[in-house]
Structure 1
């Protein structure tokens, strides 16, 4: 995938990644916010990876939203609004839901995104590629 949803996915996951430094996290946040007027290196590329992402919601408990992201051996958990943002982005990018008994799960494995900051800043429709495997 290489659309605006891919940028959103990379930016959301990137904010939680222990592999990215503050400068890369700030660049991703700015790009997702539509701010392209920040200085960056001409050939700057940001890689965002996650071993697994699993999000849950419920069609019974309408307040239930949670996600677990696995980076290597470290898990990070999101709840509430932040989890819903990631869950909605997964659905937007075609991750199929796995519903059952009042619960709905969205899961993927081996997320690998590359963001070419200069290309995204050009606003010509390119600069982000993400791949992943279905985990449902």
Structure 2
């Protein structure tokens, strides 16, 4: 007869957070991540930003060049919140040599999206940090519009 694992051991396995290392995400959260980051990227044109914003809003009734994929990249993303100052939410996104900043509700939206995608926080002394490097997303707009569960892939690494 095989021994049965103890209840505490099973509980630990069920609630233990997953490791945060290099990751690939392909779900609706990946679309949200790409759409949020794209709005701040100096490398993405207005038409691509509008298309991603529409997709994130659930609007698929727009014309699109079916052969084109939108690439969204960021060198790093560093977001901060506090479990002491509950009003504190800020993110810094680095695109090459240019930084962009989000604060307040917009920063919280990005923080929540990073958590949704499994990024583990680094907490200490009242501060909570979410950070990643080398974000690289590819969005096939036509496939996302087809609503078949595909069309988005984002990869990222641990913070530098």
Classify the TM-score, shorter chain.
Answer: over 0.9
Determine the C-alpha separation between the residues in 1 that align with 2:66 and 2:84: 49
- Show the counterpart of 2:63: 39
How do 1:12-51 and structure 2 match up within 5 A? 12-51=36-75
- Show the counterpart of 2:31: 7
- Show the counterpart of 1:59: 83
- Show the counterpart of 1:89: 113
Q: Is 1:119 paired with 2:137? A: no
- Show the counterpart of 1:80: 104
**Structure 2: gaps (5+ residues):** 1-24
CA distances 1:5-27 after superposition (whole Å, capped 9, x unpaired): 00000000001000000000000
Determine the C-alpha separation between the residues in 2 that align with 1:118 and 1:63: 39
Determine the C-alpha separation between the residues in 2 that align with 1:39 and 1:27: 9
**Structure 1 stretches (4+) deviating beyond 6 angstroms?**
none
Q: CA deviation at 1:135?
A: 1.1
Q: CA deviation at 1:43?
A: 1.0
Aligned residues: 136
Q: CA deviation at 1:42?
A: 1.3
